[in-house]
Amino acid sequence: MISRLARIARLPTRLLGRRASGEGGSIVVEGARKATGGKGRTRVVMTMAVFFGIYSTIAGRLVYLGFQNPDLSGGPQSRVTASRPDIVDRNGEVLATDIKTASLFAEPRRIVDADEAIEKLSTVLPEIDYEQTYHKLKSGAGFVWLQRQLTPKQQADIMQLGIPGFGFRTEKRRFYPAGETSSYIVGLTNIDNQGISGMEKYIDEQGLSDLQASGLAIAKDLKPVQLSIDLRVQHIVRDEIATGMEKYHAIAAGAVVLNVKTGEVLAMASVPDFDPNNPYNAQDKDRLNRMSAGLYEMGSTFKSFTTAMALDSGKVTMESRFDASRPIRIGHQTIHDFHGKGRVLSVPEVFIYSSNIGSAKEAEAVGIDGHREFLHRLGILEKMQTELPEVARPTEPKVWKQVTSITVAFGHGVSTTPLQTAVGCAALMNGGYLMEPTFLRRTQEQAMSVAKKVVSEKTVEAMRYLYALNAEKGSGRNARVPGYRVGGKTGTAEKVVNGRYSKDKNFNAFVAAFPMDDPQYIVLTIADEPKPEKPGMGATAASNAGVMAANIIRRSASMLGVKPDFSHENGATLVSYQ
């Protein structure tokens, strides 16, 4: 019994123990959960604090850098957007365009062995300057250029060298499909694709450089710039003057084809020239666009202006006569004719015989002030206004005296550019309107809106007759082209050497117009210091500059839209004068 009571007595104790254990276990579990939850929140808070600190540091650094000047030494400036518009001729043929190219740069801080790097690089670029490159690689800078505008093969070969710290940057460079054919007109860009001469420079001056600086010169947004040049005619002109320079042993030659109705330059070239794709010699002393940037005494081509001036003044008519039987002596100078007739000459005879004496007396009839005013009116002694940047300012004496007027009458004493001479002659052929030349396309209506009337219709009619007559009976016979009715005027001027006129160094020119019944084009050619083609032959303008003009007309007239007319055997006598 006692034992049963004892068991009964122990039973509640166990049950209570169990209950107690259960309650105590639940208390322990709850406490553990509370402890575990507290530690978890702490870890979350700490993690958030760490990330907040990191992002706060980054944000603070960005704000700091935002107020600092950019460090450009860490890499090249992007030139991907520094595009240029294509330049095309009047028919859409590309004269200049952008192409992508790779340029090599280095990060000197990553270069381990500069000597080894240069040795490897020189196997691909043997022309590289060792000393200069060594200093660049040892400079410790973040970025330096090593070679700009590589060929694809050069880039591939350098990549195969596997030099650490070397890299490539894609840039734009200019490519000129026509090469030297139109080099002086189209011009050049520098290493940063900025125009530095010719129409390339003109385009920059019209706002392209500002677009490039602002990063807005996007290739797809740039429309091609269309020039007035006809690449076919340009090729002919360049080919003929290059051939003439060699054939006549001249130091230089040049030519221009000008539309007399619009003032558009259809072609213009000067040799020696350069290849714009490899312009290593572009700055040489003899590389000069002689047609617009060269100043010359234009010789007897000026007699076109003298005769036109005399007729336009009303003081001289086509029936006027001048005594050319004796030389003119003024001061210490004596004016005589090259092939004098020794008699009285009519105005047409003064022109076709290219009489210095007769021209001087035409100028005397007008007077000094009238002579000077007429040449300025025709723009001959004014700086020419055109798109091409390379334009020289003509020179003249500050004070004109009687001897000045006399010598200027036959092309001595003042200097102008061949292109200006062509423009002045165009005004004598197109109805009397002076039009500044343009290298951009222009309609006849646009040209007339800016043209200036400088001579009368009657003067133009007389000058057309004289040009045609000179090609038939005078010094322009060598410039005749069957079927194309060519007229013109020669000019053989002695060059000034050491302050004196040289007897064996000439500057020759020929100005031609065609077709003479209604002139559409002026062709002016020059030959600087030409020599006789063969022993015993002459070296006057008729025998070289005139021949070059004829060849240009013969090859290009059909391309210019001039139809041949063989109804007149000599090709020049269609014009008459009433």
312 vs 17, which has greater pLDDT?
312
Paired tokens of 42:
């702490």
pLDDT attached to residue 215: 55
Containing H/E element for 316?
none
- Angstrom distance (rounded) from CA 145 to CA 174: 19
Neighbour count for residue 494 (Cβ, 10 Å): 16
pLDDT attached to residue 101: 87
pLDDT attached to residue 46: 80
Is 6 a residue whose pLDDT tops 70?
no
Q: Which amino acid is at 73?
A: S
- Angstrom distance (rounded) from CA 28 to CA 216: 74
- Angstrom distance (rounded) from CA 487 to CA 466: 8
Neighbour count for residue 488 (Cβ, 10 Å): 34
Sole residue written with tokens 């109804």: 567
CB 360 within 8 A of CB 335: yes
Helices within 67-208 (DSSP H only): 114-122, 130-137, 152-161, 183-186, 198-203
Q: What is the mean pLDDT of residues 288-315?
A: 97
Q: What confidence tier does 516 reach under pLDDT thresholds 50, 70, 90?
A: very high
Coil, strand or helix at 185: helix
Which of 300, 355, 405, 415 is labelled catalytic? 300
Neighbour count for residue 570 (Cβ, 10 Å): 14
Max distance between CA atoms of the chain, in angstroms, equals 182
pLDDT attached to residue 83: 80
Is 77 a residue whose pLDDT tops 80?
no
State how far Cα 352 lies from the chain centre: 38
Paired tokens of 4:
């049963």
- The DSSP code sequence of 42-62 is HHHHHHHHHHHHHHHHHHHHH
Distances in Å between the Cα of 398 and the Cα atoms of 369, 372, 408 are: 13, 11, 14
With vertex at residue 410, the alpha carbon angle to CA 348 and CA 385, rounded to the nearest 5 degrees, is: 105
Topology of 234-576 in CATH?
Answer: Beta-lactamase (3.40.710)
**pTM metric for this prediction:** 0.80
Q: What confidence tier does 211 reach under pLDDT thresholds 50, 70, 90?
A: low
Is 165 a residue whose pLDDT tops 50?
yes
Q: Is 445 left (phi over 0), alpha (psi -120 to 50) or beta?
A: alpha
- Angstrom distance (rounded) from CA 560 to CA 523: 12
Is 1 a residue whose pLDDT tops 90?
no
pLDDT attached to residue 327: 92
Q: Which residues pair with 197 in a beta bridge?
A: 188
- Angstrom distance (rounded) from CA 323 to CA 339: 15
pLDDT attached to residue 20: 41
Is 576 a residue whose pLDDT tops 90?
no
537 vs 266, which has greater pLDDT?
266
Containing H/E element for 38?
helix 2-66
Q: What confidence tier does 64 reach under pLDDT thresholds 50, 70, 90?
A: low
One fold for 87-226 and 234-576? no
- Angstrom distance (rounded) from CA 123 to CA 94: 36
100 vs 386, which has greater pLDDT?
386
pLDDT attached to residue 256: 98
Q: Which residues pair with 252 in a beta bridge?
A: 528
Q: Is 19 left (phi over 0), alpha (psi -120 to 50) or beta?
A: alpha
pLDDT attached to residue 346: 96
pLDDT, tens digit, for every residue of 429-482? Answer: 999 999 999 999 999 999 999 999 999 999 999 999 999 999 999 989 999 999
Question: Can the peptide bond before residue 532 be classed as cis, meaning omega within 30 degrees of 0?
Answer: no
CA dihedral 463, 464, 465, 470 (to 10 degrees): 80
Is 21 a residue whose pLDDT tops 70?
no
- Angstrom distance (rounded) from CA 488 to CA 472: 10
- Angstrom distance (rounded) from CA 391 to CA 404: 25
Q: What confidence tier does 317 reach under pLDDT thresholds 50, 70, 90?
A: very high
- Angstrom distance (rounded) from CA 434 to CA 443: 15
Domain ranges of the chain: 87-226, 234-576
Strands 225-226 and 87-88: parallel
CATH class of the structural domain 87-226: alpha beta
Q: What confidence tier does 57 reach under pLDDT thresholds 50, 70, 90?
A: confident
Percent of the chain with pLDDT over 90: 66
- The DSSP code sequence of 394-432 is PB--SS--HHHHHHHHTT-S-BB-HHHHHHHHHHTTTTS
- Angstrom distance (rounded) from CA 87 to CA 208: 13
Distances in Å between the Cα of 520 and the Cα atoms of 258, 262, 428, 506, 553 are: 8, 9, 12, 30, 12
CB 476 within 8 A of CB 510: yes
Paired tokens of 125:
């670029």
334 vs 439, which has greater pLDDT?
439
Q: What is the mean pLDDT of residues 415-425?
A: 98
pLDDT, tens digit, for every residue of 342-398? Answer: 899 999 999 999 999 999 999 999 999 999 999 999 999 999 999 999 999 999 999
Q: What confidence tier does 234 reach under pLDDT thresholds 50, 70, 90?
A: very high
Distances in Å between the Cα of 344 and the Cα atoms of 37, 353, 375 are: 129, 12, 27
Of 149-163, 329-343, 472-486, 562-576, the one with minimum mean pLDDT is: 562-576
pLDDT attached to residue 213: 59
Q: What is the mean pLDDT of residues 321-333?
A: 90
pLDDT attached to residue 152: 87
pLDDT attached to residue 7: 46
Q: What confidence tier does 67 reach under pLDDT thresholds 50, 70, 90?
A: low
pLDDT attached to residue 24: 46
Half-sphere exposure of 444 (CA within 13 A, CB side): 7
25 vs 332, which has greater pLDDT?
332
Is 520 a residue whose pLDDT tops 50?
yes
Percent of the chain with pLDDT over 70: 85
Residue 300 annotated as catalytic = yes
pLDDT attached to residue 40: 67
CA dihedral 450, 552, 383, 432 (to 10 degrees): -40
